[in-house]
């Protein structure tokens, strides 16, 4: 389980203090797929960064399976997220001078892994995302959807406890977005992968088990797929 406990986050801009998160309590169970929605500036991406150990809260705590990530040193957080957290970004963030295979293998090398097992792992992941035949290509030769598939494979290289996706379909058309969402959903269903996804798109959020709505740095509302008001909640975004 990952938890945000009474989390606040403020930023200092000149003489002004900006409150981005205002006492957030949030938890995700192992194997759950949660979508976080909300207007720009509501704090959803900031929360994702805190959950992944990319930043620390001003107050409150972030815990993953009992480990207080927010209390770790920067070096400890770097090691922790490299081993336990996978990231997927809107702009893919692939290394342009590396091939597809090298991009997927990068987290394994960064964690000190060596040997034949790396190539076997890379092949398995590229098979899973349907890009095994493109392993020797460079990112600039791939479509946006293909680049995001590589990004997903890379994010899963170290078998993370949690996968954090920040607008993973934001740069894709609806057809390619659906392909990526189906892929994430398949990892969630077949491997019980825990996923937290930030999105502006209710279509994307509809793939999740639970939708959490952020507003002004707080959780405004949330709904689970099995709740009786789920359809009404979704329809309110489409109106």
Q: State pLDDT tens for residues 7-21.
A: 999 998 888 899 999
Mean pLDDT value of segment 173-183: 94
User: β-strands 218-224, 210-215: how paired?
Assistant: antiparallel
Structure tokens belonging to residue 171: 């740069």
Query: What pLDDT, in 10s, does the model give residues 190-223?
Result: 999 999 999 999 999 999 999 999 999 999 999 9
* Tokens 């600039």 belong to residue: 140
Give the Cα separation of 64 and 43 in Å (integer): 20
Provide CB contacts within 8 A for 67, sequence distance 6+: 80
pTM over 0.95: no
User: Does residue 2 carry a pLDDT above 70?
Assistant: yes
Give the Cα separation of 184 and 202 in Å (integer): 16
Give the Cα separation of 164 and 33 in Å (integer): 10
> Which H, E and C letters describe 80-145, residue by residue?
HHHHHEEEEECCCCCCCCCCHHHHHHHHHHHCCCCCHHHHHHHHHHHHHCCCHHHCCCCHHHCCHH
């Amino acid at each position: 389980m990952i938890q945000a406990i009474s989390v606040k986050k403020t930023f200092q801009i000149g003489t002004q203090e900006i409150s981005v998160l205002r006492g957030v309590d949030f938890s995700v169970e192992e194997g759950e797929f949660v979508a976080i929605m909300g207007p720009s500036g509501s704090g959803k991406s900031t929360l994702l960064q805190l959950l992944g150990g990319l930043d620390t809260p001003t107050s409150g705590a972030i815990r993953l399976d009992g480990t207080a990530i927010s209390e770790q040193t920067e070096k400890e957080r770097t090691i922790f997220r490299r081993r336990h957290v996978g990231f997927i970004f809107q702009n893919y963030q692939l290394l342009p001078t590396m091939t597809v295979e090298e991009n997927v293998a990068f987290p394994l090398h960064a964690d000190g892994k060596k040997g034949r097992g790396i190539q076997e792992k890379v092949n398995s992941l590229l098979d899973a995302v349907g890009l095994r035949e493109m392993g020797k290509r460079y990112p600039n030769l791939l479509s946006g959807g293909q680049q995001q598939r590589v990004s997903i494979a890379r994010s899963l290289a170290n078998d993370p406890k949690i996968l954090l996706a920040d607008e993973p379909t934001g740069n894709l058309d609806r057809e390619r977005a659906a392909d990526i969402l189906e892929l994430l959903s398949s990892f969630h269903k077949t491997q019980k992968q825990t996923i937290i996804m930030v999105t502006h798109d209710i279509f994307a959020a509809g793939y999740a088990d639970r939708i959490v709505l952020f507003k002004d740095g707080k959780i405004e509302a949330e709904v689970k797929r099995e709740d009786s008001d789920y359809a009404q909640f979704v329809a309110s975004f489409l109106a």
